[in-house]
């Protein structure tokens, strides 16, 4: 074994056990996808793929949003959490690659290709959808990486004294007039741009890759519902990641109970916001009673075989966390919060399946969810874990809370 390989395997973030675990998970997920793809119903494989692509891409996008919001709002309580949140953004290149692979299954993923669309055909056509969504991802991820570039450069140089920091920043921007305050202002500017792009582009993705699967249904609130849910999911993953770092004595990352409590309050708040957005959509559709709108909701909440899953999603993603997060002590406990976050994330993954499954399997009367769907989910978990561990291995400063509390 060479020195580089030895260094990697000895890293607290990137050890042999983690490599073995994530490697096995990814292989299991890949094999499960291939088995479904080669079966009688390849649409099942692409349903699972699309569900997990949207789920984990949303986690990465929402994770960076947390850091951007903390930068713009100057939230001191969450400064220690921005490093782990930014590590989630390491999934951006993987997400974009997965997005391109998605179009290999265009025959199963875009059922509207075989429907009479009328005027909607001007919007729902494969070249147009690919062009605008590709541009959207490039803009979102491009702004995200520019913000990360500033954030990581600033974070790394806060270890040095002010003179060295100023010298580094001047060299970085090839200008002697740049100072740390101006550099921080650039960070804030790109944080604002990322926040705007996040809302606009996640709305576009929600319309094109989820709502358009049933092209005769529409909701003006669906885009906002999607990007609020993405942030809700990202908070859940951030709680789990921060708890793992906090409870590992080898990692110089420690949060005060008050910080866990504040993160728990934010998680609780977006639990309510997500449920409120769902209620607003449901109530308007129920009150309007327009057949084009009600059919979509009835198929997912009142008709077999999806009705039990709808109730499970509601209970797991809203009912249980709403009741538990009323307790202050639980919000301050990383172990309990991690368990609760994992439960909520499972519910929201099922919610993605609930939105996508009936559109891709409109004539099936049995629940289109099995063991292989779960194994593909496990594969994506391994992929995300590998990406985050790689980022923290290259930039261990992201997991040093004492650095981010310095100013």
Please compute, for residue 139, the number of CA atoms within 13 A of its CA located in the half-sphere on the CB side. 18
Q: Is 5 inside a domain boundary?
A: no
pLDDT at 1: 36
Instruction: Flag whether 2 is in a domain.
Output: no
Distance, in Å, from the CA atom of 150 to the CA atom of 375, rounded to the nearest integer, reads 37
Helix H, strand E, coil C: the string for the chain is CCHHHHHHHECCCCEHHHHHHHHHHHHHHHHHHHHHHCCCCHHHHHHHHHHHHHHHHHHHHHHHHHHHHHHHHCCHHHHHHHHHHHHHHHHHHHHHHHHHHHHHHHHHHCHHHHCCCHHHHHCCCHHHHHHHHHHHHHHHHHHHHHHHHHHHHHHHHCCCCHHHHHHHHHHHHCCCCCCHHHHHHHHHHHHHHHHHHHHHHHHHHHHHHCHHHCCCCCCCCHHHHHHHHHHHHHHHHHHHHHHHHHHCCCCCCCCCHHHHHHHHHHHHHHHHHHHHHHHHHHHHHHHHCCHHHHHHHHHHHCCCCCHHHHHHHHHHHHHHHHHHCCCHHHHCCHHHHHHHHHHHHHHHHHHHHHHHHHHHCCCCCCCCCCHHHHHHHHHHHHHHHHHHHHHHHHCHHHHCHHHHCCC
Q: Which residue has the tokens 């770092």?
A: 245
The domain tally of the chain equals 1
**pLDDT confidence of residue 10:** 45
Note the pLDDT of residue 227: 95
pLDDT of residue 117: 81
Using CA atoms of 226, 269, 279, 339 in order, give the dihedral in degrees to the nearest 10: 80
78 class by beta-carbon count within 10 Å (0-12 exposed, 13-18 middle, 19+ buried): buried
Q: Is residue 4 part of a domain?
A: no
- Look at residue 119 and tell me if it is in a domain: no
User: Whose CA is closest to 89, among 115, 130, 57, 119?
Assistant: 57
Task: Give the model's pLDDT for residue 311.
Answer: 93
Task: Tell me the residue range of the domain where 57 lies.
Answer: 11-112+124-404
Residue 189 in domain: yes
Q: Is 6 inside any structural domain?
A: no
C-alpha to C-alpha distance for 339 and 328, rounded to whole angstroms: 16
Tally of residues, the chain: 407
Res 11: pLDDT? 65
Look at residue 117 and tell me if it is in a domain. Answer: no
Q: Which residues of the chain, if any, have pLDDT below 70? A: 1-11, 157-180, 364-366, 368, 402-407
Query: Considering the domain boundaries, does residue 399 fall inside one?
Result: yes
């Amino acid at each position: 074994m060479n020195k580089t390989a030895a260094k990697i395997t000895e890293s607290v973030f990137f050890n042999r056990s983690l490599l073995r675990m994530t490697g096995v998970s990814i292989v299991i997920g890949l094999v499960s996808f291939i088995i479904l793809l080669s079966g009688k119903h390849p649409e099942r494989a692409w349903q699972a793929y699309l569900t997990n692509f949207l789920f984990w891409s949303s986690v990465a996008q929402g994770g960076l949003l947390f850091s951007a919001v903390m930068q713009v709002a100057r939230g001191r309580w969450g400064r220690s959490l921005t490093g782990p949140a930014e590590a989630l953004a390491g999934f951006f290149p993987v997400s974009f690659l997965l997005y391109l692979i998605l179009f290999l299954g265009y025959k199963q993923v875009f059922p509207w290709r075989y429907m009479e669309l009328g005027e909607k055909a001007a919007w729902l056509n494969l070249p147009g959808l690919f062009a605008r969504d590709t541009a959207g991802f490039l803009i979102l991820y491009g702004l995200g990486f520019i913000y990360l570039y500033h954030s990581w450069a600033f974070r790394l140089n806060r270890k040095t004294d002010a003179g060295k920091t100023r010298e580094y920043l001047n060299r970085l921007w090839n200008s002697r007039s740049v100072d740390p305050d101006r550099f921080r202002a650039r960070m804030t500017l790109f944080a604002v741009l990322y926040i705007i792009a996040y809302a606009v582009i996640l709305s576009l993705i929600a319309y094109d890759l989820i709502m358009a699967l049933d092209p005769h249904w529409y909701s003006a609130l669906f885009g906002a519902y999607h990007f609020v849910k993405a942030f809700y999911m990202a908070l859940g993953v951030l709680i789990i990641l921060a708890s793992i770092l906090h409870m590992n004595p080898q990692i110089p990352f420690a949060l005060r109970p008050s910080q866990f409590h504040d993160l728990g309050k934010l998680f609780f708040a977006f639990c309510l916001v997500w449920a409120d957005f769902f209620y607003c959509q449901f109530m308007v559709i129920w009150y309007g009673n327009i057949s084009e709108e009600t059919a979509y909701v009835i198929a997912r909440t009142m008709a077999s075989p999806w009705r039990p899953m709808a109730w499970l999603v509601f209970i797991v993603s809203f009912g249980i966390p709403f009741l538990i997060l009323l307790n202050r002590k639980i919000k301050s406990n990383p172990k309990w919060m991690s368990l609760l976050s994992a439960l909520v994330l499972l519910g929201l993954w099922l919610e993605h399946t609930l939105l996508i499954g009936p559109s891709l399997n409109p004539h099936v009367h049995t629940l289109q969810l099995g063991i292989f769907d779960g194994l593909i989910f496990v594969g994506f978990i391994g992929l995300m874990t590998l990406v985050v561990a790689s980022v923290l291995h290259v930039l261990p400063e992201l997991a040093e809370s004492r650095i981010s509390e310095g100013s």
